[in-house]
Amino acid sequence: MNHSTFSPDGNKATRIERDALGSLEIDAEAVHGIFTERAKKNFQISGIVAERNFIKALALIKKAAAAANIQLGTLDRQKGAAIIAAATEVAEGNWDSHFPLDVFQAGAGTPFNMNCNEVIANIAISRLGGKKGDYALVHPNNHVNMAQSSNDVIPTSIRIATLFSMQALKPEIARLDLEFRKKAEEYKGVVKTGRTHLEDAVPIRFDQVFNSYANALENCTGKIKASEASLLELGIGGTAVGTGINTHPEFKSKTISYLREYTSLNFAAASDSILTTWSASAFLEASSSFRLLATELIKICNDLMLLNSGPKTAIAEIILPEVEPGSSIMPGKVNPSIPECAIMACYQVLGNDNAVMEAAKSGQMELNVMTPLIAFNLLWSAKLLTNTAKMLSNHCVKHIIVDRKRSGELLHAGLSLVTALNPYLGYEVCAEIVKISATTGKTLKEAILENRLMSAEDLEKILNATAMTEPGQTDQLLKEKIQNSTTLAEFRQKLKIS
C-alpha cells in the first residue's frame, strides 16, 4: 500500500509518493499521482493532450466498473460511491486540466489509464475527508482500476470516444448534404457543360451535379454507421490478455450494462475478448469510413474550385462566396479559401488513416501497444471532418451562386453537343463536323447547316441540351429521314465513309 507523507518545500507543500521504482516528490494539492508525474517527465513529444471525448470515455469506464464491483460485492460500497461521484465529475469535464499527458506516450496507453485512476482516486479521497495521496482510503490500482487493465480499458475507451465523436460528425455531414440538395432545387433545370478528362463532354444539369455530391455524402454516412457495429462490441473485463483474470464472472456483463445506461449506446460484450485486446480491426473500419468521407470531400472541393475558376479567364460557372482577400500583392483577387482549407484538413485525415493502418498491424502476440497512436489519429480525424463539414456548410455551399448566363454560353460554344447527333449522322460524320467547327471557328449548327446534313428544324429538335441530360429514345422516323437524304450520302462519299 502506498503511504504519502507531506513535507514543506519552501512555501510550497509537497507530498512523497512511492512506487516500485522509488519515491517522488509531488505538489501536495496535485490531483494526479506518481505514475502521471513520471509520464509527464518522460513523454514530452507533441504538446498535444487527449481529446475531451477520450477522457470522458475513460471516466465512464471507471464509473461503470465501480458500479459493477459494488453490485458484485467486490468493492466497498463507501469507496465505490466516492469513485462513482469522482468519475462523474471527470466525465463531465470538471478536471480536464489534470490530464496533462502527451498523446505520444508509453505503449498500450498505460499512462492514460493510470492518470485517470489517480485523478479519480484523489478526488474520491477528498470526498471521503482524506488528504490527496492517502491511498489507504482509495487506491488508484486496487480500487479505481479493480478488475481492469490498461489493455482492455484503453481499447474500450477508444471505441466509446470514437462513437461519441461520430455523434457530432454525422449531423454535420447531414447539414452539408442538405445544403447541396437545396442548391440542386434552387438551380433545377440549369444545364451546363459536363467535363471528362478536364475536356468538354456532354451536357449535365446543375441539380444532377449537386445531388450527386449530396448522394456521395449520404453514402459516406452509411459507411460510418456501418463501422459503428464493431465499435459497439466491448472487450472490457478481458483485463491483461483478454482472458478475464482477476475479474468476477459477471463483471463484464454488468459493466457493459452500466455503460449502456450512462451513454445510451447499445453496447454488447465482444464474443472474443482476446481478439479485442490485440486486434485493431474495429478502429481500422472507422478510420476507413473517415478516409472515404475525406476522399469524397476532396473531390467535391476540387470541383467547386474548378467551376469557380477565373473569373474572367477560366470556367466561372459558379461563384463561391468571398470570405477574405486572396492576395497580398494583387488587389481585388479572391481565392476559394474555404475549399482550400477543407482539402488540407482532408489530406490530414488521409495521413491519419495511414497511421492507424500502420498501428493496426503493429500488434504483437496478445496485445496491440499502439493504441495511443490509434486514439489520437482516429479522434483527430473525426474532429477535423466535423469542423470541415461545418465550415463548408456555413461558409461555402449555402452561398454558392450559379452563373446561368456563363453556363449557357459555354454550353453552346462547346462541341460536345454533337454527341446527340451520333444516332442520326454516325460517329465518323460527327467527328468530321467537330473538326470543321474547330478549324473554321464555326459553331456546330453552322457547320451542319452549311453542309446541308439536316434542316434547321430537325437540328433544333435533336440539339436539345436539356433532353441530353436524361435517357431518351432515338426518333426512328427522323433518323430514317436524315440517313436517306442525298446530302448526307454525298458528304459520306466525300469522306470515303462506307
Kindly list the catalytic residues: 327
Q: How far apart are CA 150 and CA 156, in angstroms?
A: 10
Contact 283, 158 (CB under 8 A): yes
Contact 72, 248 (CB under 8 A): yes
Q: Burial of 334 by CB count in 10 Å (0-12 exposed, 13-18 middle, 19+ buried)?
A: middle
Q: How far apart are CA 437 and CA 448, in angstroms?
A: 9
Q: How far apart are CA 354 and CA 368, in angstroms?
A: 16
Look-up: residue for cell 482516486?
121
Q: How far apart are CA 397 and CA 206, in angstroms?
A: 13
